[in-house]
Structure 1
């Protein structure tokens, strides 16, 4: 059942229009720190941001040493610059890594200084349609090879700029990987323990948009209409899981991605149908709460769902069909990972997944043996 005592709130103002990057001209402040990566700097986005901020009378400093899966060194390096310039405006532009790094940097300052730290006005500009980090309290940081999930509402951006022009040049493979990450966000939020009517509405709309538009992007990467929808869906899914939580799909993906250095969205995609089958207790005839929720998603998509079990199977089959349309591998073996390497890593990955911040929101409390079996089935 949906929780009776519901609450839903978010602090982030969202602007979503092609060309909305120019909204930076309306920011107020004196000094800005722009956090991004070398690629966006090389193609000119950082200069564009600096230009808009200059029009607002804001002096800019730049930190572009963010790498994929930002680690504690990136945070330490960024923290030094933050402490030196003491900005009152912070702009993070990039994929989830850049936005997560920005969160981790100023959160580190807050942890060190407490209430004496003057948090800058934080604007997030996503250049991929995947993490939803532009509206969430979450940040994923790599520490000693493990992905650590930080959660604190203090990290939520003040402003999110969803400018679909900023994702126009993203390669098809990245769009598909990040799109499957969004589908996982919405699916997990829908069955999570803290799901509400409000998060359901966001998750349902997200899932419809993805099943309609991801295949269109796979056929034509230049389909601007479809990419606009997926970019908005990414943000909506972020709002949903920020309130409802995620689950073991993300816990397992964090662990395997950090251990074997695999793209996060692809990991989620390869685990998704096995996690749905586990949560829905596919091998048993009795319908649990998660199975009923997955069955509702099948109904939402117009799929056969005369019984809960039929709906559960329909949703699993829909995920399989979508993955096939997007040319996604059927298992981790097809990524070229040697079986011995994979099997040897499972014990460590399961330990990490059990401790992951996403696991408690899962509708079924898993055992180590059950997580081990999911990994084995996903190979």
Structure 2
């Protein structure tokens, strides 16, 4: 039996931030990426609320949020006892805020009426997913926090913050959207509902991500990618992802490769691997390739799959994505010493179990070697 609910209320569009004007007499904690502090965009957001509420800013946010930073955030929050938490940032900021809000409610019994996510990148879909990834700084192991209780109560999709995203951030986060959708499309828990969300996200990415990477990107282009990110998040939150993510988490943990870029490096090889081991996956991806116009409907399955992978690689080159760890700046001899460790940890990653083929340790080693 499939149960379908989307608990997070989604406000989308240039005027979505007007939702914040409805708060009155609240203690509001804004958790945001440090570079947003004193920015005109953040000043605008604060101006929507500060005349009728007490607004506090917290900016101790770092990439791959460590568990220790979540603890520090909770300690800070205890001093102001917010009734509303607003996370404004990328995936790391939103994930850290999820941990702060979750444990604040669960362990500290704080009366947080509303937890709102405002994504500033079109990538993670974290604003509508029921898990967060936190890092143990000592071991560099990433731990998932999985619970519907970490879902934001509301998500505000606004083009305000993504208008100024650097090209590399746009590229890597956008490839993250594509991987979310392509993995969800063949994940073990996929169904017709998640497929519909994933397909639309994939279509939007191929059309709008190259446009968003250019300085001529319009507000419509940016908003379309923002919506693609959210659609992909809704899809994989129910369907799962797969070994691209399980393996990418280790590249991020060991070599600090941006998550979307790590996903991008692995994607073409994992698609080929899964297709070669699962005929149903090959058939599904071939159908998608034809539907997107990458190959003719009468083309062979092999040609359709080749066309899909070629389209992905072409997109990566268009976005100036490094295609392997060496191109990113990691010494090959160093990365080789981590292969067994990364493969072992990828097998333990929560994303692994949704992959449509149960890849083993040697399979993962082989895939990692392709991106050294």
Q: TM-score range by the shorter chain?
A: over 0.9
Matched residues in 2 for 1:176 and 1:37: separation? 19
Match of 1:27 in 2: 23
Q: What's the offset of the Cα at 1:111?
A: 4.5
1:61 is paired with a residue whose SS is strand
- From 99, 111, 118, the counterpart of 1:118: 111
Match of 2:76 in 1: 81
The size of the alignment, in residue pairs, is 368
Q: What's the offset of the Cα at 1:28?
A: 5.3
Stretches of structure 2 lacking an aligned partner (at least 5 in a row): none
Equivalent runs, 1:257-336 vs 2, <5 Å: 257-281=252-276, 288-304=279-295, 306-336=299-329
Q: What's the offset of the Cα at 1:291?
A: 1.1
Which whole-Å deviations, capped at 9, do the CAs of 1:27-52 have from their partners, x for residues lacking one? 35621111112211131444333322
1:358 is paired with a residue whose SS is helix
Q: Is the 8 A contact 1:19 1:164 kept in 2?
A: no
- From 342, 350, 353, the counterpart of 1:357: 350
Matched residues in 1 for 2:265 and 2:189: separation? 25
Equivalent runs, 1:159-238 vs 2, <5 Å: 159-238=154-233
Matched residues in 2 for 1:166 and 1:316: separation? 31
Q: TM-score, normalised by structure 2?
A: 0.94
My pick for the range that moved more, 227-236 or 44-53, is: 44-53
Q: Is the 8 A contact 1:13 1:159 kept in 2?
A: yes
Matched residues in 1 for 2:44 and 2:219: separation? 22
Matched residues in 2 for 1:339 and 1:37: separation? 32
1:195 is paired with a residue whose SS is coil
Q: Is the 8 A contact 2:325 2:332 kept in 1?
A: no
Match of 2:47 in 1: 51
- From 58, 62, 71, the counterpart of 2:57: 62
Matched residues in 2 for 1:86 and 1:134: separation? 23
Q: TM-score, normalised by structure 1?
A: 0.92
Matched residues in 2 for 1:225 and 1:63: separation? 31
Match of 1:42 in 2: 38
Q: What's the offset of the Cα at 1:221?
A: 4.7
Stretches of structure 1 lacking an aligned partner (at least 5 in a row): none
Matched residues in 2 for 1:295 and 1:197: separation? 17
CA 1:81–1:239: 2 relative to 1, 3 Å: same
Matched residues in 1 for 2:48 and 2:191: separation? 39
